[in-house]
Amino acid sequence: EGSSADKSNLQSGDSIIAINGQPMSMLQDIQLELQLQKGKEVTISYIRNKEEKSTRVAVSENGTIGTYLKSPFNYIKTLVGYVKQFKFVFTKEGAKSLGGFGTIGKLFPATWDWHTFWSMTALLSIILA
């Protein structure tokens, strides 16, 4: 509490997508940009409830804004779920339900969402491995 992120109205679950108009897709990109902006105020664009918003945030002299990563537990839980589903791929019923590019395309939502994109990309990578 009391951090720059709190003062700027950033909330748990918000996904940072840009800093000063520069797209950010990886945690390392965000960390590097914040290090470059130590002691300055930046505009952070983020997604909340599938809606893009932006806010001004003061970057500390340490290059932080007072946010933390989401717990990796959800990602581990998702990966375990993917692995458990593999048994269905190697059955007749599973083979019949597999589709081609059209089916894969239907997995993605009509509106762009980074989290869904990377989750589905990870799933497809595991399947194809």
Model confidence pLDDT, tens digit, residues 39-60: 999 999 999 998 999 999 999 9
Q: Which amino acid is at 15?
A: S
Strand order through the sheet with 51-58: 22-23, 15-19, 41-48, 51-58
Assess if residue 35 is contained within a domain: yes
CATH code of residue 30: 2.30.42.10
Using the 3D structure, point to which of 32, 58, 84 is the last residue of a domain: 58
Residues 45 and 82 in one domain: no
Return the structure tokens found at 76.
Answer: 């581990």
| 54 and 87 belong to one structural domain | no
Residues of the chain with pLDDT under 70: 1-7, 68-76, 78, 82, 85-110, 127-129
Residue 78 sits in the same domain as residue 43: no
**Range of 96's domain?**
73-128
Q: What is the pLDDT of residue 123?
A: 72
Stated pTM of the model = 0.53
> Under the phi-then-psi rule, with left for phi > 0, alpha for psi from -120 to 50, and beta for the rest, what region is 42?
beta
Provide the domain count of the chain. Answer: 2
- Asked whether residue 34 is assigned to any structural domain, the reply reads yes
Residue at 67 is within a domain: no
Distance (Å, whole) CA 110 – CA 96: 25
Please indicate, yes or no, if residue 66 is contained in any of the structural domains.
no
**Is residue 18 assigned to a domain?**
yes
Rounded distance between C-alpha atoms, residue 21 and residue 3, angstroms: 22
Q: If we measure between CA atoms, which residue out of 83, 96, 71, 81 comes closest to residue 129?
A: 83
Claim to verify: residue 54 and residue 77 sit in the same structural domain = no
pLDDT of residue 15: 86
Assess whether 39 and 82 both reside in one domain.
no
- The pLDDT, as a whole number, for residue 9 is 79
Does a structural domain hold residue 11?
A: yes
In a domain, 64, yes or no: no
